[in-house]
Amino acid sequence: MWPSRDVILRERPSGLPDASTWEVLDRSVPDPAPGQFVVAVDYVSVDPGMRGWLNDVRSYLEPVAIGDAMRANAAATVVASRHDGFPVGSTVTGMFGVCEHAISDGQGVRLIDTRTAESPTWLGALGIPGMTAYVGLLRIGRLSAGETVLISAAAGAVGSVAGQIAKAMGCTVVGLAGTEEKRQWLLDLGFDHAIDYRSENVSRALRGVAPQGVDVFFDNVGGEILDAGLANLARGARIVLCGAVSSYNSTTLPPGPRRYMSLLVARASMTGFVIFDHEDEFAEAEREIAGWIADGTLVARETVVDGGVDAFGQTLLALYQGANTGKLVLQVRDSTS
């Protein structure tokens, strides 16, 4: 048996999750049966979409059940195995949850090479956020060299990778961020323009830096930011709907886009996607992004919080407060010990 402390969903939140949402329970993970293995969780990915998993509503994944460990992608080390594909000592990623130990049959789990990049990067630029940026831009957004690309939440896990991919593809890139520090970081990454949406009128600023309009808008925010993008489309533009973090913690439905008729005027399209529908493209995306990291074209950045499972609730809140730059990761244990 393997002792584990798991973060359990105690009750569904209204608005922002708080202390009443979670409970940390002691549990035991059994030794593996044939075809199974046990992992010790090293790092947990903290993602905006987690908030949607707490609501008992229809979505692209089933909601987390009351009393279950919080769903989360994690990087882990195999500590016991009766599975030929996952020997002891292997480093892996998978939906193990917010916990210290977990058992798996290997479904949805992938081996990672920590010689290529450290584990937190495999939860960021080489993980689901990186895959999302790559597929969203190149497949859903049908990105072409020379186009003008707008990225919202550009200093986050997905946005920072998406902007750098667009630059690697020869595009002009405009990023939106919420602080002057993040705005400057985007410029340091190579973004052509960066706008602080808290202190500037986004629509007016976009007209200044992209007077011919935006060809691809990769939107992670929704709400007023989506409207600002809609007001500045080039003819034939594509809007990639990746997320809507501005409304994840709302207790009422947000108003719909006011500028949607811009889609008609610009002969544009707006398409939502879920990255789990594109797993057949992960190998290509991983190979390309790893190459860009290796040659310095792409900078992978993680904000790592060292606090164990007890710090999960506060770390999730910090995400919605914009405390992170790049990928936000919670360290559960020191994998080198």
**pLDDT of 192-207, one tens digit each?**
999 999 999 999 999 9
Instruction: Count CB-CB contacts under 10 A for residue 140.
Output: 21
Report the share of the chain in percent with pLDDT over 70: 99
DSSP E strands, 56-180: 74-81, 91-94, 101-104, 110-111, 148-151, 172-177
Based on the fold, state whether residues 23 and 88 are members of the same structural domain. yes
Per-residue pLDDT tens digits for 214-232: 999 999 999 999 999 999 9
| CB proximity list for 34: less than 8 A, separation 6 or greater | 82
Based on the fold, state whether residues 135 and 202 are members of the same structural domain. yes
DSSP single-letter state for residue 282: H
Tell me the mean pLDDT in the region 61-67: 93
Read off the CATH number of the domain in which 82 is found. Answer: 3.90.180.10
66 and 11 in contact (C-beta within 8 Å)? yes
Based on the fold, state whether residues 115 and 141 are members of the same structural domain. no
pLDDT band at 335 (very low <50, low <70, confident <90, very high): low
pTM of this prediction?
Answer: 0.94
Whether 281 maps to a domain, the answer reads no
- Main-chain dihedrals φ then ψ at residue 264, nearest 5 degrees: -70, -50
Q: Which domain holds residue 202?
A: 128-276
Based on the fold, state whether residues 141 and 241 are members of the same structural domain. yes
Based on the fold, state whether residues 262 and 199 are members of the same structural domain. yes
136 and 142 in contact (C-beta within 8 Å)? no
Tell me the mean pLDDT in the region 300-317: 96
Whether 211 maps to a domain, the answer reads yes
pLDDT band at 61 (very low <50, low <70, confident <90, very high): confident
Whether 308 maps to a domain, the answer reads yes
Q: Which helix (H) or strand (E) holds 285?
A: helix 282-294
Tell me the mean pLDDT in the region 248-275: 91
pLDDT band at 135 (very low <50, low <70, confident <90, very high): very high
- Report the amino acid identity of residue 255: P
Based on the fold, state whether residues 231 and 138 are members of the same structural domain. yes
User: How far, in Å, CA of 146 to CA of 253, rounded?
Assistant: 37
Residue 247's pLDDT is what?
85
Residue 255's pLDDT is what?
81
Whether 75 maps to a domain, the answer reads yes
Residue 263's pLDDT is what?
97
User: How far, in Å, CA of 68 to CA of 312, rounded?
Assistant: 15
Residue 144, pLDDT above cutoff 70: yes
Q: Which helix (H) or strand (E) holds 38?
A: strand 37-45
Read off the CATH number of the domain in which 229 is found. Answer: 3.40.50.720
Based on the fold, state whether residues 154 and 25 are members of the same structural domain. no
Per-residue pLDDT tens digits for 98-121: 999 999 999 999 999 999 999 999
70 and 49 in contact (C-beta within 8 Å)? no
Residue 272, pLDDT above cutoff 90: yes
pLDDT band at 337 (very low <50, low <70, confident <90, very high): low
> What is the pairing mode between strands 148-151 and 193-196?
unpaired
Residue 336's pLDDT is what?
58
Summarize the chain as % helix, strand, coil (round to 5).
30, 25, 45
Based on the fold, state whether residues 147 and 186 are members of the same structural domain. yes
Tell me the mean pLDDT in the region 262-290: 96
Residue 243's pLDDT is what?
93
The answer to whether the Cα torsion of 121, 124, 130, 133 is positive or negative is negative
Is 181 in a helix, a strand, or coil?
Answer: helix
The answer to whether the Cα torsion of 11, 12, 18, 24 is positive or negative is positive
- Main-chain dihedrals φ then ψ at residue 65, nearest 5 degrees: -80, 145
Residue 16, pLDDT above cutoff 60: yes
pLDDT band at 251 (very low <50, low <70, confident <90, very high): confident
Residue 268, pLDDT above cutoff 70: yes
The tokens 């890139």 sit on which residue?
Answer: 173
Looking at every residue in the chain, the average pLDDT score rounds to 95
pLDDT band at 58 (very low <50, low <70, confident <90, very high): confident
Give the CA dihedral 294, 305, 155, 317, nearest 10 degrees: 150
Based on the fold, state whether residues 93 and 165 are members of the same structural domain. no
The tokens 């359990």 sit on which residue?
Answer: 8
